[in-house]
Amino acid sequence: MNSVQLAVWTGVALVGMFVLSQVARYPTQVLWRFAKTVALGCLFLLAINWVGGYFNYHLPLNPYTALVAGFLGLPGVGALVTLHLWFP
């Protein structure tokens, strides 16, 4: 393992430890934020599917697309639309 890989894995471990400590410290707040982002992602996807219905276009509504749309917001929805058009 070279030094770049070691630095990347150390960074990933530190971020993971931070996330786990926040979940252990504020479990309801983290779960509430997670639920809000998933709900927002579902709303974004439903809006895209509603507008896309006029153009015979739809995005699948599943947990992965809802998480991407929720966490990344409008750029995430744009990325999902681009990927869906690029790889049908």
| Cα three-residue angle 1-18-30, rounded to 5 degrees | 135
Q: How far is it, in rounded angstroms, from Cα 68 to Cα 48?
A: 14
Contact 36, 71 (CB under 8 A): no
List the pLDDT tens digit at each of the 88 positions of the chain. Answer: 788 899 999 999 999 999 888 888 888 888 898 888 888 888 889 999 999 999 998 888 888 888 888 888 888 888 999 999 898 7
- Supply 56's token pair: 């015979």
